[in-house]
Amino acid sequence: MGKGMVAVPIISTVSSQKAIINHLAPAARVAVAAAPVAMVGNGMLGNGVIAGNGMLGNGVIVGNGMLGNGVIAGNGMLGNGIIAGNGMLGNGIIAGHGVLGNGVIAGNGMLGNGIIGGHGMIGNGVIVGNGMLGNGIIGGHGIAAQPMTIGVGKAIL
């Protein structure tokens, strides 16, 4: 014979009322004991998902998961990796040696020492330094400076 919802045979001998209560009481205890497994224990809504080590617990929100130490506060994409660390928006681009850091704006890059304030094309190389418009032609020892004015010789570069 098969078993019903209360774990007793579907077709059983006719019992008294006390015998029926004795059959149903153990099934009720099993049903009540299943609630802590799902909500408070290691089930889906307990430690598994909301309050424990599951997908929404330590895994994603509070722990080492995607939104925890991994992404927001840790070494992940939005943590030390991008915003506050050595990532794309941290030392790499904005405050470090990246494209927009020392590389381009404040460092030795194209717009830093390279072009505007350093030894680049428009810096010491062309306007202020030993380039074509610096010591070379206008203010230095170039064609229009010492060779023609002082008469040291031909066009000495």
Query: Percent of the chain having pLDDT more than 70?
Result: 0
Provide the pLDDT confidence category of residue 20 given band limits of 50, 70 and 90: low
> What is the pLDDT, as a whole number, of residue 119?
46
Using CA atoms, how far apart are residues 128 and 21, in angstroms rounded to an integer? 102
Q: Write out pLDDT tens, residues 37-74.
A: 444 445 555 554 555 455 444 444 444 444 444 444 44
Query: What is residue 29's predicted lDDT score, i.e. its pLDDT?
Result: 52
* Helix-, strand-, coil-residue percentages of the chain, each rounded to 5: 25, 0, 75
147 CB contacts (<8 Å, ≥6 apart)? 141, 153, 154, 155, 156
Structure tokens at 141: 């020892």
Q: Could you tell me the pLDDT band of residue 79, with boundaries at 50, 70 and 90?
A: very low
Mean pLDDT for 7-23 is 54
Rounded-to-integer distance, Cα 44 and Cα 37, Å: 9
Give the whole-angstrom CA distance, residue 156 versus residue 137. Answer: 10
CA 90 to each of CA 48, 72, 101, 102, 113: distance values in angstroms, whole numbers, following the listed order? 34, 13, 9, 12, 21
Separation CA 44–CA 22 (nearest Å): 32
Radius of gyration of the chain from Cα atoms? 40
Burial bucket for residue 142 (CB in 10 Å: 0-12, 13-18, 19+)? buried
Indicate the pLDDT class of residue 16, thresholds 50, 70 and 90: low
Q: Tokens for 113?
A: 């020492």
pLDDT of the residue at 124:
43
